[in-house]
Amino acid sequence: MSYSCSNFALVLAAVAGVCTPGPAAAQAALERIMGVGGVQADDAVRGSYLASNGSAAIFLSKAGNLLPGGNGVANVYRFDLDSHELTRVSVVPGSGAPASDVCTSAGISGDGQVVVFASYASNLVTGNTQWSAVYRHDLASGTLTRISEDSMGNQANASAQTPATSGDGRYTVFISAASNLMPGDNNSMSDLFMHDAQTGEIGMLDFNRFGQFPDGAVDWLTPQAISWDGRYVVFASTANDLTPTSGNGLLQVYLVDVSNLTRTLISQAANGGPGDGHSTDPVISPNGRYIAFNTLATNLLPGTTSHLYRYDRLTATLINIPAPVAGDFTPPLASSATWCEGPRVSDAGDVLATCRFATPTALQMLVWNAASTRWRLVTQGLEGPSSFGNGRSGMLGGISADGRRVVLDTLATNLVGGDTNNVSDVVYQVTAPADLIFRDGFD
Q: What is the mean pLDDT of residues 122-130?
A: 95
Give 95's pLDDT tier (boundaries 50, 70, 90): very high
Instruction: Considering only residues 15 and 87, tell me which one the structure prediction assigns the higher pLDDT.
Output: 87
Kindly tell me the burial class for residue 246, based on how many C-beta atoms sit within 10 Å of its own C-beta (0-12, 13-18, 19 or more). middle
Q: What 8-state DSSP symbol labels residue 309?
A: E
Of 13-17, 57-61, 325-329, which gets the smallest average pLDDT?
Answer: 13-17
Question: For all residues of the chain together, what is the average pLDDT?
Answer: 91
- pLDDT per residue as tens digits for the range 374-396: 999 999 999 999 999 999 999 89
Judge contact between 414 and 56, C-beta under 8 A: no
Q: What is the pLDDT of residue 434?
A: 60
Residue 5 has pLDDT above 90, yes or no: no
Q: What is the pLDDT of residue 315?
A: 98
Residue 8 has pLDDT above 60, yes or no: no
First to last CA, the chain: 5
Q: CATH code for 57-204? A: 2.120.10.30
Give 23's pLDDT tier (boundaries 50, 70, 90): very low
- The reported pTM is 0.92
Look at residue 38 and give its three-state secondary structure. Answer: coil
CA distances from residue 64 to 41, 67, 94, 120 in whole angstroms, order as listed: 8, 7, 21, 19
- pLDDT per residue as tens digits for the range 408-430: 999 999 999 999 999 999 999 99
Judge contact between 190 and 218, C-beta under 8 A: yes
Name every residue whose Cβ is closer than 8 Å to that of residue 340 and which is 6 or more positions away in sequence: 306, 307, 308, 321, 323, 324, 353, 354, 355, 356, 366
| Region for 206 from its dihedrals, namely left if φ exceeds 0, alpha if ψ lies in -120 to 50, beta otherwise | alpha
CA distances from residue 155 to 99, 182, 192, 195, 234 in whole angstroms, order as listed: 18, 12, 16, 13, 25
Residue 40 has pLDDT above 90, yes or no: yes
Residue 367 has pLDDT above 60, yes or no: yes
**CA–CA separation, 374 vs 302, rounded Å?**
22
Cα four-point dihedral sign 221, 354, 403, 20 = negative
Residue 16 has pLDDT above 50, yes or no: no
10's enclosing H/E stretch is helix 7-16
